[in-house]
Structures are given as structure tokens and as C-alpha cells.
Amino acid sequence: MTRSPWLPVFRAIAAEIRSTVAPLAGTRRGREVVGAGAGGDQTIYMDALAEQVAVAHLERVHREGRRFQLLSEELGRRDFGGSEVILLDPLDGSYNAKQGLPYYAVVLAVAAAERLGDVTLGYVLNLVSGDEFVAERGAGAYHNGERLLPEPAALGAESLAVLQLDAPAGVNPRGQSQRLIDRAQRLRQMGSAALNLCHTATGGITLQVAPSPVRAFDLAGPLLILAEAGGVATDIEGKSLSAVSCNLESRTTLLASAFAEIHGRALQWLTPQK
């Protein structure tokens, strides 16, 4: 298990956010629009409240002597006097939360610099079920305290048990992914990029694809969880994501699986036939 000094801080943040937003999910007050976030999306009351909780914890550890930069989906960038970067999405899947759909999470990560390959700690807590996913670079990935070692589904060479599609609002993700859809036994579009990648890391989602560029910031911690579980993630052309910026403006496509063989087959299926 990770020995990072940030893990107890992240757990405390997540626990308080969970207790704070639970009564508001699916309510009129919870989904009230109170502004616009630095990432460009509308900020609902639950977003703002969750971020306030997280920032209060981070201000406390700063007063205790820790130095870092904060990059958060709602407030943007805040300087706490150091070079280490804390990435915060206080409510990933906020549309689900405001509709009362039980699939949303708090997402935190630590990075040495603002690239996906610089992330050293990833943390995701499902705010409904309490499922926790943690990974530290070089130390493995853990699901509810147990080492994450996914087992492949028994499938034929031409099929996918569960295909998860991600796409920004207003984008039809099916066109470019049709060859994958044709091979899927089940198709899902569940609404939390972080939880989707965590369940890809468990093998529950066989393949996750974002054929249109999505925000790299949302993927930073969860991609480390996938990698430390032995999984593979690239863009849909098979290019590495390590050098992709994880700031709020950066976008990337995505192809991810816990199993290298499935990822490789998916790349082949996506290649246009000549």
C-alpha cells in the first residue's frame, strides 16, 4: 500500500465530501447553478460545496508546513508555495449527482509536474458506494485495500464483454468507434471518467474508448491506477499519453484496457481497412 503522506489527507477530504454531498444528490438545491468553473463547465451547488471542503483541508496542511500548487476543476490554479501539483476534481460525474444517479466520485492526484506521466499518486472514491481506488507509482494499485490484479474475462478473440464510451457533451462517439461497438456484448456510457477508468483497471470494463478528445485533467489519477494494475492506455492511434498536459485546457482521445492483448486488438480493429 502507498506510504505517501498525501493519502491520509486525500482520505479525509473524500470522507467529508461524501458526507456533505450525499443529502444533496438529486435535489433542486444540489443542482442549482452557482457559477462557472475554471474548466469551462457550469458549477452547481454540490460542486462548489465539495470544492470548499477540499480546499479547507488543503489550507490546513499548508498552514502545517506543506508546500504545493493546487489545480482544481472549479477554482482553477492556486499557489500554496511549492512545485508539487495537487490535482482536484471534487465531484467527477456531477451531472449524475445532480440527477440523483448513483455514479460519481471525488478524484485527487499528486504530480511532480503537469503531465500525465508525472503523476505519482492517484486517488478515487466513489461517493455513493464508498469504493476506494489508490495507486502510487511503482507501488501497485489497490481497490478497498486489496491489491488490484484483474483477471481477464473468458472471451473469444473477436469480442468485448463491456465497452465503455466517453465523449464530451454534444459529441456522438459512435461513428469512429463502430468497429468496436460491433464486437461488444454490452455497451455503456456511465458519466464519470474517473470511475470508468477505475473499473477498467478492475477488468469490469473490458475496454474504454474516448474517440473524441476529452479533458486530460479528468484522467490523470485514474490512468496511474490503471497502469499500476498492469493496464494499458494510449490515444486511439496508439500514441503514448505520458507527455500530454494535465492542465484544464488539455484534451486527448483515449483507448484503455486492463489487458494489453485486448488493447492491441482494439487498435487493430480501429485501423481503417484498405
Domain boundaries, the chain: 6-147, 160-270
What is the average pLDDT value for the chain, to the nearest integer? 91
pLDDT exceeds cutoff 80 at 39 = no
pLDDT in tens, 57-108: 999 999 999 999 999 988 899 999 999 999 999 999 999 999 999 999 999 9
- Residues in contact with 178: Cβ distance below 8 Å, sequence separation at least 6, in sequence order: none
pTM: 0.93
CA distance 66 to 77: 17
- Residues in contact with 271: Cβ distance below 8 Å, sequence separation at least 6, in sequence order: none
Q: Please return the burial class of 35, using the count of CB atoms within 10 Å of its CB with bins 0-12, 13-18 and 19+.
A: exposed
Note whether 6-147 and 160-270 share their fold.
no
Spelled out in words, what is the top-level CATH class assigned to the domain 6-147? Answer: alpha beta
pLDDT of residue 15: 98
Question: Which secondary structure element, helix H or strand E, spans residue 252, and what is its range?
Answer: strand 251-257
Instruction: Select from 148, 118, 119 the least CA-distant residue to 133.
Output: 148
* CATH code linked to domain 160-270: 3.40.190.80
User: Beta strand 184-188 with 160-165: parallel, antiparallel or unpaired?
Assistant: parallel
